[in-house]
Amino acid sequence: MTVRSLGYVVVEAADVTQWRKFAVEVLGLMEAAAGPDGSLRLRIDERPFRIAVIPGKHNRFVSCGWEFKDAPELDAAIAALKSAKVEVRAGTAAEAANRAVRQIAFCQDPCGNALELFHGRTYDYTPFASPRGLSGFVAGDLGMGHAVLPAPQLAAAREFYQRLGFADTDEMWLAMSPNPADPKLGIHFMHAACRRHHSLALVGMPAPSGAVHMMLEAKTLDDVGYALDRCMAAGAHISSSLGRHSNDFMVSFYVQTPGGFDLEFGCHGIQPDWSTWVPTQSVIGDLWGHRWSPPPG
C-alpha cells in the first residue's frame, strides 16, 4: 500500500482567465475540455488533466490528488488512515467522474492540507500538443511533478504521509538568518512508488496561498529557457532565478502563479533507484543559482 505518484492538483481562481493566460499562453500547457464543474483543465501529457482550476472567490491552492494502483491499495490506505483516527470521506460517483477517476476519497493531513486519494486512470489518447512549442513534459508514470506543502507541525505531517506509504528521500535544515540560535527551517523530501526524486516536500512553515510551490518538469533545457523568457516578457514575477538544486539536480526557475504560490519549472531531475537509495541530509539547497526575490509590495 503506497501512493504511486502525484496525479493532479486543484487550484481555485477568482479570475480563471488569468490562469488560462499564464498556463497556456506563457508556460505552454495545453488546454483541455472544461470539467463538469466548469473548471479550466490543463494538460501536460496523455491524462485528461493535471491541473484543474476551479472558479471561486479566492486565489489559492486547494488540494493534491494522490494516485494509487487499484481499489485494494486505495482501500488499504483509507483503512490505515481511519485506524489512526483520521477522518476520511468517501467520494461520490459524481465526484469521481469530475476528476476522471474510478474511486476517490477526501481527507486532510495534520496541517490542514487537503488530499484527494484516488485510483483509476482515464485516457482519451489525444496527443499532448503545446501551443508554445514545448517538446513535452516528464510525467506519465512519474506523475505530474511534485508539490511542496506548508507543514508547521512538521513531525506530525511526516508521520502522516509515511502512513500513506511515502518514504524519505532527503531532508534539509536551512538557517534563515546569521543568528546562531536560529532554529532552522526543516524540509522533508518524500518519494512515492515512482522514480521521481520527490513527489512531496513538507516545509515547516505556513503558506497563506495553500502551497509553497508545485513543480513541472520539462524535457529539455531549451524548454525551460524559452519558458523563462516568456514569463519575463509577460511581466510575471520571477521568484527565483535559474539554478540547480543540490538534492535532485533539477535545473529550474520559480515563477509566481495567479494563485499566489510559486511554480517551479525545471528539467533534468534525477530518477533514483529506490532499491539502493540511502536517504540523505543536504546542508545546502542549491549547487548554483536560484537567487530569490520577494514579490513586489
* Residue 125 reports pLDDT greater than 90: no
CATH dotted code for 144-289: 3.10.180.10
pLDDT tens digits for 169-211? Answer: 999 998 877 888 778 899 999 999 999 999 999 999 999 999 9
pLDDT tens digits for 153-165? Answer: 999 999 999 999 9
The order of strands in the sheet holding 5-13 is: 30-31, 40-43, 51-55, 5-13, 60-67, 114-119, 103-108, 89-90
* Residue 1 reports pLDDT greater than 80: no
pLDDT of residue 257: 98
What's the whole-number mean pLDDT along residues 144-158? 98
CATH dotted code for 5-119: 3.10.180.10
pLDDT tens digits for 26-71? Answer: 999 999 999 999 999 999 999 999 999 999 999 999 999 999 999 9
Q: Say if residue 75 is exposed, middle or buried (CB neighbours under 10 Å; 0-12, 13-18, 19+).
A: middle
What's the whole-number mean pLDDT along residues 233-246? 98
- 196: phi then psi, degrees, rounded to nearest 5: -70, 135
* Residue 241 reports pLDDT greater than 90: yes
Cα(107)–Cα(78) distance, integer angstroms? 9
Task: Break the chain into its structural domains and give their ranges.
Answer: 5-119, 144-289
Considering the chain, what percentage of its residues have pLDDT values greater than 70? Answer: 99
pLDDT of residue 31: 98
**Given this chain, do its domains 5-119 and 144-289 carry the same CATH topology?**
yes
**3 state SS of 195:** coil
pLDDT of residue 234: 98
What's the whole-number mean pLDDT along residues 245-273? 98
pLDDT tens digits for 261-293? Answer: 999 999 999 999 999 999 999 999 999 999 999
